[in-house]
Amino acid sequence: MLTLAGAVAGPPAAGAAFLGAAAVVPSLAVMVVAGLAALGAGCLLPAWGAARLVRRRLPLVVAGGVVVVCVAASAVVFVPGQASVPRAERAYWDLGTGSRVAYRVTRAEGAARPVPVIRLHGGPGTPGEGEDALDRALSGAGFDVYAYDQLGSGDSPRPDDVSGYTVERQVADLEAVRRRLGAERVILVGASWGATLAAEYLARHPGHVAKVVFVSPGALWTPEWSDEEAGQLWDRLTPGQAARVGALGENARFAVWETLMAIDPRAAHALVPDAEVDHLFGELLRIAGGAASCRPGGAELPAKVPGFYANQLITADQQSRPDPRPALRRAGVPALVLRAECDYKRWPVTREYRDTIPGARLVYVKGAGHAIGLDRPAEFAATVTAFLTGAPLPLPPYTGVEDPAAR
């Protein structure tokens, strides 16, 4: 009976010890040792007591077999999956915040205007959203255009400590980039989450922003919206796509990883490293990429290796941010908001940018999805360039209250 009790209680005790260690010390070695110790104690100690009572080795043999089977079965949790491909060689900035980020610059044709453009990608963690046409157009209009992969995404290195993935760090990194460029003021072009980041920066540093463009923006202040109210890419998946997405993480390793994410993301990071989970995230986005377009299945998003931990932890941190809207109402910075016909973000999320920032203009782009630069690259580039150069907008501003797509 003692041997049977140990065989039944040992594996749950090992699991509890593994997860309990994760809550205290997010080290894979410590978690494994704690689990093995609990498994051995739970199975072998009762068997040792039984062996002494009956003066036979059978209980110890049975308990040892239980331990071996449990260790062999749990080994699947520690076998890594496929990893992301090596990143390309890029130029890097080592910022005063401690972040190291990859960047690309498209130089102005001819004499450069005094105020550079900084593009902010979406996600968080998903650079490479098809804006090369915009960079070329702005370069032709005399702007130096900088695009950088935010901390932990794209070609930027992944930090060892995932606790650095916060909105505050992103704002600080952007300010460090501005200082690195030696520009008193910059122009910000932010897409999706990048628009949210641009708004956060504008609320904090309005004197350093000359103009700002919000492209298919995410929520201005996330705590105001639930996922259902704000709109999610996953809502547009076909049943087949949803099944493929669901199947990506259906194994014991990711079941344990998901539990660790809830306990301490550092422990989850110790079990499943960046390269593995970034590859999985990339596969997920490739399946779902068409849902960001007006042409389902006709676009892939993103082009670079995305950063999963950056995505998850910055998104979670957004829920605790102070409201930036009072500061934005006093910003006094020219702003353009681009709304796409097929954007999965709810219309009120976009409209709030126009209604919050004084003088902001909103332009509606037909035939485009959330990634406007992919679906309508020429119109997108022409509209942004016109706004930044002070030329008449090729598309008229929309001043209505109702969703223009519903008219």
How high is the pLDDT of residue 157?
A: 94
18 has pLDDT over 80 = no
Going from the C-alpha of 331 to that of each of 98, 229, 358, the distances in angstroms are 29, 27, 8
Beta carbons of 344 and 223 less than 8 angstroms apart: no
Highest mean pLDDT of the ranges 53-67, 195-209, 266-280: 195-209
CA gap 355, 264 in Å, rounded: 38
**Strand, helix or coil for residue 385:** helix
* pTM, two decimal places: 0.87
Of 51-55, 181-185, 217-221, 348-352, where does mean pLDDT reach its minimum?
51-55
390: how many CB neighbours lie within 10 A of its CB?
8
Mean pLDDT of 20-28: 74
CA gap 247, 226 in Å, rounded: 25
331 has pLDDT over 50 = yes
**Strand, helix or coil for residue 209:** strand
How high is the pLDDT of residue 43?
A: 47
pLDDT in tens, 38-94: 555 544 444 444 444 444 454 444 444 544 544 554 555 556 666 655 454 579 999
How high is the pLDDT of residue 378?
A: 93
> Cα Rg for the chain, rounded, in angstroms?
26
More confident of the two residues 39 and 157: 157
